[in-house]
Amino acid sequence: MLLSIKKNEWVGNPRENIFAGLVSSVAILPEVIGFAIIAGVHPMSALFASAITLLVITLTGGRPAMVSAAAGSMALVIAGLVQSHGLNYMIAATILTGIFQFILGYLNIHKIMKHIPKSVMIGFVNGLAISIFLAQVQQLPEQNVIGYVMVIVSILAIYLLPKVIKVVPPALIIITVMTILSFVFKGSFFTVGDLGDMSSLDVSFGLPLVPMSLETLWIILPTAISLTFIGLMETLLTVPIVDEMTNSTSDSKREVKAQGLANFITGLFGGQAGCAMIGQAVINVKSGGRTRLSTFVSGTTLLLFIFVLNSLMMVIPTAALIGIMITVAGDTFDWKSLQLVKSWEMIESTAMLVTVVVIVYTGNLAIGILCGVVLNGLLILLTKLNKK
């Protein structure tokens, strides 16, 4: 049931979970800020929405250690609505998305994931890994020579530091050291503060200022439906990845309901809809995150960045985050699948390849999965017809 959180979902190694929460909170910043600007949303508003999403899902029963926030895929969906009708209609769509997801949670929408072929799932993981890598590469032109050096040092440190220091996750050490350098040598690095307008945020709570009419419903309905299914698909595809990494199981039904409640509450705070962020979830787990404490710390740290430590957040160098996320991309890619392809039938190999290509080309994980599943079904059907 929603809110029926077991004690063992909170306990564990406090130090590791706190450190992991700190790392994942910083890892959230570039994607959320970057896509907020594309969507026409104030970056600080997007960060606040991410904090609310993280905290609500953590406290209401989402999968322990899985990071959810105002993901880029969701931001792209709301961009058109914001441009055509403004932020209040986007907020209304977010609230409606939360209602839809909450209802679908009770209707067991999560069971649809059982029908996705393994080859498509592997294609999803590999397409995601490539997308994460390309997203980092696209940021490199903004860096100077020092930034390139910082990226390389960050990548090497991720793999070398654990051999020397095991108490603190390497990503946290990298972020801390690089931020100190950025603070000392101001102006030498491209930082989080350079990503967009990071001015103060006015928080309000309540329903958006839109007419309560059928006309409003028809305006926000297409966006709400898209947000509902893209958000659920990305989240439900992230759950098994975190399950495998942590060697544990989770309640997908409860995750769906928790996400719905989170989006509903986030909308009341004037924020945008969110879902699981796979790259950030991976780095949270890799940094030692296993319990709800890690995501609670992550959400709380985002609030501190917004309202207390804004000046600190502004000087975090993006090069350090690029280096860290490149290693996340490498660790996310299923390298064993390159060998498996040799033993697979043509149907499986084709479905996986198409899933990867569509995800990388469109940047939309949900469309990639849909194409992979449909193609897999058509190829199976054609094979059966040819045998008759």
pLDDT in tens, 72-131: 778 878 888 998 999 999 999 999 999 999 999 999 888 887 788 888 888 888 888 888
Specify whether 130 is located in the same domain as 67.
Answer: yes
The token pair at 138 is: 């696209």
Question: If you search the block for the tokens 């609030």, which residue do you land on?
Answer: 303
C-alpha torsion angle, residues 271, 275, 276, 278 (rounded to 10): -90
What pLDDT band is residue 376 in, cutting at 50, 70 and 90? confident
Q: Which of 260, 286, 317 is at the close of a domain? A: 317
- Cα separation, 168 vs 53, in Å, equals 27
Domain annotation covers residue 176:
no
Phi, psi for 270 (deg, rounded to 5): 85, 20
* Alpha-carbon separation of residue 178 from 145, 220, 319 (angstroms): 15, 43, 9
- Domain range for residue 228? 7-144+193-317
- Cα separation, 15 vs 306, in Å, equals 24
Domain annotation covers residue 227:
yes
Q: Which of 317, 345, 368 is at the close of a domain? A: 317
Specify whether 213 is located in the same domain as 309.
Answer: yes
Specify whether 96 is located in the same domain as 223.
Answer: yes
The more confident residue out of 359 and 383 is 359
Q: What is the CA radius of gyration of the chain?
A: 21
pLDDT tens per residue, range 265-302: 999 999 999 999 888 898 899 888 999 999 999 999 99
Domain count, the chain: 2
Single out the residue of 366, 52, 83, 51 nearest to residue 235, CA to CA.
Answer: 366
